[in-house]
Structure 1
Amino acid sequence: MSFSHTLGGTIYRFNDLKTLLAKATPLRSGDVLAGLAAQNAAERVAARMALADLPLRHFLNETVIPYESDEVTRLIVDQHDGNAFAAVASLTVGAFREWLLSDATDAATLAAVSPGLTPEMVAAVCKIMRLQDLVTVAAKCEVVTRFRCTIGLPGRMSTRLQPNHPLDDPKGVAASILDGLMYGVGDATIGINPASDDVDTMVRLLDMIDALRLASNAPIQSCVLAHVTTALKAIERRAPVDLVFQSLAGTEEANRGFGITLSLLDEVLAAAESLQRCPPGGNVMYFETGQGSELSSAGHSGVDQQTLEARCYAVARRYRPLLVNTVVGFIGPEYLYDGKQIMRAGLEDHFCGKLLGLPMGCDVCYTNHAEADQDDMDALLTLLGVAGCTYIMGVPGADDIMLNYQSTSFHDALYVRKVLGKRAAPEFEAWLAATGISDIKGELSFEPARLMPSLPLLEAK
C-alpha cells in the first residue's frame, strides 16, 4: 500500500510502510548511509504527517519484512495480543501519541495495553514525538524484574558494574569490582565483557565473582557476556551461571550474523533455568541492542535502524529478561553521528523498550571518533534518569580499557541518584548499609568493615 501527503503544494509519495517509517525518522547517519533517509526536511515532515494519520490497525495488515521470510516478523505477528490491543485499536498513530501523553493513561493502563502493541506501532509513534514526550511516557512505565535484587521499582535506578580487563585477568577484574561496590554500584549485575570468548575464561571469571558473592553475602547476580553457545558449555559444566547474555538484532538475517536463532535462545533459556540459581518466577536473561547493528551486518532489509531496534524488543520480551539495554553510541558515528543523534536515539530506545514491557536500561556511551563528548553524555544521563531508566553502566573512570569506548563511571551513578533522589535496589541497599559502605539512608560512608574479609580470598585468586 502506498501513502502520500501534500505539503506546500508538493505531493510526497511513499511506496510502502517501511519507506514511510524510514522517511519519517529524525535524521541520523545510519539511515543516510543505507539510502533510506528523507531527502530533506520537507519530505521528513510530510512523512510524519502521513504517518500520524495512519490507523494503528494498518500495522497488523502490512509488515516491514515478509512473514514468510523472517522469523522475527513471525514472532511479532504470532505473539500479538488482540484483546490488549482493543483499548487503542480505533486510534491513528497521532491519536495514539495523545493517548500516551494523557494524564488518564497511567502505569497500569500502559502495562495492560503493552502486549497488544507491535514494535512497528511503537516505532511509528516514537518518530512523531519530541524528547519531552519520550521522557514523559517512559517515566510512566513500570517494569519490575527479579533475581537476587529487585530491579525497576519506582524511585530506584540500578547499575551494572562493568569491570572489563583487556587480558581477562581475575585480579584486575576483582579490583574493579571492589572499587565499584565501594561506590554502591552493581545491583543490576556485575557484567564482564570477556576479551576471549571461550568457556575456560568464562568459568574462571564466574567462579571468582561467585566466591566474592558467597564471602561477602552480597545480593548480586553475575554475567560474563560471552556468546550463548559459550554459556551453554559453561552450564553443561555446572558453572555458577546467573544470567545468560546475548546481543540481539531486529531481523532473522542480522541475528544469524550474531550466530543465533530463536530456537537457540529457547534452548539456552531452558538450560539457564535448569541451574535453579534464580528464585522461582525470576528472570535469567540479559540482552543488549543498539541502533545500526542490522545495517552493519548487511541484514537491514531496507528498514530504518530505529524501527529495527524496536523489533529487537519483540525478541527480548519473549524471554522475560532481567535486563535489557541499548548500547546507544557504541557502534559509532557511521550510525549515530554526534551527541544530538546519540541523545535522541537513547531516549527513543528507552521509550520503545519500556512501552513494550521491558526492563530497559542504557549504556550512555560514545566512541572516540564520534562528534560527542562527556557533556553530551551528562545530558543524556540526566534525561534518562528523569525518564525512569531502569539501569545504567558503571565503568571505572568511564573509560572502558578493553572495549575502547567512553561510558558512565561509578560517580556518574552517584550523581544521578543524588540529584534525582533515586536509590539502589532494596536488597542491595540493605547490604550496603549492613557492610558499612553506606548508611541506612543510602549515603556512602566508606566504612565497609564487613566486606574486608573477602579481600584475602580475592588476592588468592
Structure 2
Amino acid sequence: MATLPQELKTLLAWASPARSGDRLAGLAAPTAEMRIRAQMALAEVPLSRFLNEALVPYEQDEITRLILDSHNPDAFAPVAHLTLGDFRNWLLSEQASPEALAALADGLTPEMVAAVSKLMRNQDLILVAQKCQVVTAFRNTLGLPGHFATRLQPNHPTDDASGIAASILDGLLYGNGDAVIGINPATDNLNQACDLLKMLDEVIQRYRIPTQSCVLTHVTNTLAAIEHGAPVDLVFQSIGGTEATNQSFGVSLSLLEEAQQAALSLQRGSVGNNLMYFETGQGSALSANAHHGVDQQTCEARAYAVARRFEPLLVNTVVGFIGPEYLFDGKEITRAGLEDHFCGKLLGLPMGVDVCYTNHAEADQNDMDNLLTLLGVAGCNFVMGIPGGDDIMLNYQTTSFHDALYLRQVLGKQPAPEFAQWLSSMAITGADGRLNPAVPPAFQTPLQAVTGETASD
C-alpha cells in the first residue's frame, strides 16, 4: 500500500474528490482507499500550517504574496487553534452564523477553504454557503437574502446588432439581466468593444434599466475603451490562481489595479462602486501548465484571492466550460460547481456560477438542472441567462432565461430589488411578481422592429 505524502500540496491533491483534471496531471490519489486515507490525514492538519507552508513559492508567485501579505490574523484568531476537521465541524454548527462567517472571511486563505471543502459532502457545501451572504452594488443591489440574479448573455457568432438586440429583448421580457447585460464579443478588438458598449448603454439609458453592462473583452481593451470615451460600467477579466496562469492570460495584479482605478474615475455607479467582474474555472492552471503541482480545485480557490483584492461586483466560475479533460461528467461538474461556490462565498466573494457543459462531456441538461437547483438552495448570487440555454457563439450549453424563472418560482426568490421594481413599472411583471402574458407596451415597437411581427402575432 502506498505511503501517504507528507508534503501539504500533495496531501491536498490526494484528498480531492475524483476528477479527470487531477488524473490528467498525475496528481490524484492512486486509489479510492488512498483518497479516503488522505482525507482522514488532512482532517488532522492544523489551519495554521497553511500560513507556514506555501503551496506555490512566495518568491516566485505574486498570488502567494498577495494571500500571505494580506492575511488578517485578528479575523483568523477565533479559529486559529482548530484543525481542518474541527474547522469543518465548526462551519456546520450554529455557531457559524452569517455574521461570524462574514467576520472570518479576511482571516481565511484560499488554501484553507479548498482544504476543508475536500472533507465535506455536497450537502455540507450547500449548508455553509447558504449562510454566507455577500452583497455588492453598482446600479442595483445584488446578493441580498431572498434574491437571485442573472447575467443576460446575448452573444452572437458575428456580433450582429439585430441578433444581440433580439436576445436582449427576449431576456428582459423573461426578467433576466439584473446581474449584468454582458456580451462575449466574437471579435476581440477595440472598435468592436466600443461599438458594443455604446449599444448596451443606449438600451440601458433608453429604458432606464437599473442594471450594468459589460463587454467581456481583455482588460487592456477595456482600458483603451475608457481612454476613447466609451461608456464602460464593469471591467471584466478571466483570472487564475497562479502568477504564471495570469501571465498566460496577459494580466497581472498591477494591470487589474490600473483598470479598476480607470473605471472608478468614470463614476458611473449609482448605488455602489463594485465594478470588477471576474470569471474563473477549474483546470485553467493545468491547461496553461502553470499549476506548480497543485490540484485544480485548490488552484481555482487561489484565483479567488485575486478577485477578493478588487472588491468585485460579480465573480463566477464557468464550471464545465473548459471541458471533460478537467471535469469529465455531470457528477464531477456538479461537485466542482458546489465547491467553487462554497469556497468563493466563504472567502467573501459575490459568487455566481455558469452552470454549463460542453457537448463532448458526459453530461446533459438534466445534470445542469440538478446543479442549478442545488446552487439555488446554496444561495448562489447569479447564473447565466441565454436564449434556449445554447450559446451559439461560444458553442456550449448553459442555463436559459426560463431556467432563472424556474428557480425563482420553486425557491420563492426575487430579482435584485431595484430591477424587480423596474420590471413591475414596465409591466413586464404584475403585482404578484410573475410575468405578464402580454408584451408590455414599451416593448411592442422594438419587438416588431426585431422580428417583423406585431405583438399579437
Q: Report the TM-score range of the alignment, normalised by the length of the smaller protein.
A: over 0.9
Question: How far 1:11 moved relative to its partner?
Answer: 6.9
The CA deviation at 1:103 is 1.3
1:126, 1:245 → 2: CA distance? Answer: 27
Alignment map for 1:131-150 (pairs within 5 Å): 131-150=122-141
2:282 corresponds in structure 1 to 291
Residue 456 of structure 1 deviates from its aligned partner by 8.5
For the 8 Å contact 1:162–1:395, the answer to whether it is kept is: yes
How far does the alpha carbon of each residue in 1:159-202 deviate from its partner, in whole angstroms, 9 at most, with x for none? 00000000011111011000000000000000100011111111
Partner of 1:74: 65
Structure 1 CA distance, aligned partners of 2:386 and 2:332?
Answer: 23
Whole-angstrom distance in 2 between the partners of 1:390 and 1:138: 11
1:97-116 residue CA offsets vs partner (Å, 9 max, x unmatched): 01000012110100000100
SS at match of 2:214: strand
Partner of 1:154: 145
Q: Specify the alignment match of 2:376 in structure 1.
A: 385
Residues 11 and 205 from structure 1, CA distance in 2 versus in 1: closer, same or farther, beyond 3 angstroms?
closer
1:314 corresponds to which of 301, 305, 318: 305
For residue 419 of structure 1, give the secondary structure of its aligned residue in structure 2: helix
Please say if residues 212 and 454 of structure 1, whose CA atoms lie closer than 8 Å, have aligned partners that are also in contact.
Answer: no
Q: In the alignment, what sits opposite 1:450?
A: 442
Amino acid at match of 1:211: E
Matching residue of 2:76 = 85
Instruction: Please say if residues 330 and 405 of structure 1, whose CA atoms lie closer than 8 Å, have aligned partners that are also in contact.
Output: yes
Does residue 224 (structure 1) correspond to residue 226 (structure 2)? The answer is no
Contact 1:294-1:305 at 8 Å conserved across structures: yes
Moved more, 154-163 or 441-450: 441-450
Letter of the 1:450 counterpart: A
Matched, 1:187 2:178: yes
Could you tell me which of 13, 24, 37 is aligned with 1:22? 13
- Give the alignment partner of residue 360 of structure 1, picking from 344, 351, 365: 351
Alpha-carbon distance in structure 1 between the residues aligned to 2:125 and 2:218: 32
Amino acid at match of 2:351: M
Q: What whole-Å deviation, never above 9, does each CA across 1:261-296 have from its counterpart, x for those lacking one?
A: 100001000011011111374201000000000000
Aligned length: 450
User: Residue 387 of structure 2 corresponds to which residue in structure 1?
Assistant: 396
- Post-superposition CA distance 1:380-422 (Å, at most 9, x none): 0000000000000001000000000000000111101100111
SS of the equivalent of 2:230 reads coil
- 1:32, CA displacement in angstroms? 0.3
The amino acid that maps onto 1:250 is G
CA distance in 1, matches of 2:403, 2:431: 21
Structure 1 pair 413–172 and aligned structure 2 pair: CA distance change class (3 A): same
Alpha-carbon distance, 1:451 to partner: 3.9
Give the aligned partner of residue 437 of structure 1: 428
Q: Distance in 2 between matches of 1:147 and 1:376?
A: 33
What do the CA deviations read for 1:291-324 (whole angstroms, capped 9, x no partner)? 0000001111110000000000000000000000
Quick one: structure 1 residues 458 and 195, their matched pair in 2 at CA, closer, same or farther if it must change by over 3 Å? same
Distance 2:387 2:256 in 1: 31
- Taking only the aligned residue pairs, the percentage that are identical comes to 65
Q: Please, what TM-score do these two structures have when normalized by structure 1?
A: 0.96
1:177 is aligned to 2:168: yes
- Per the TM alignment, residue 13 of structure 1 is displaced from its structure 2 partner at its CA by 2.4
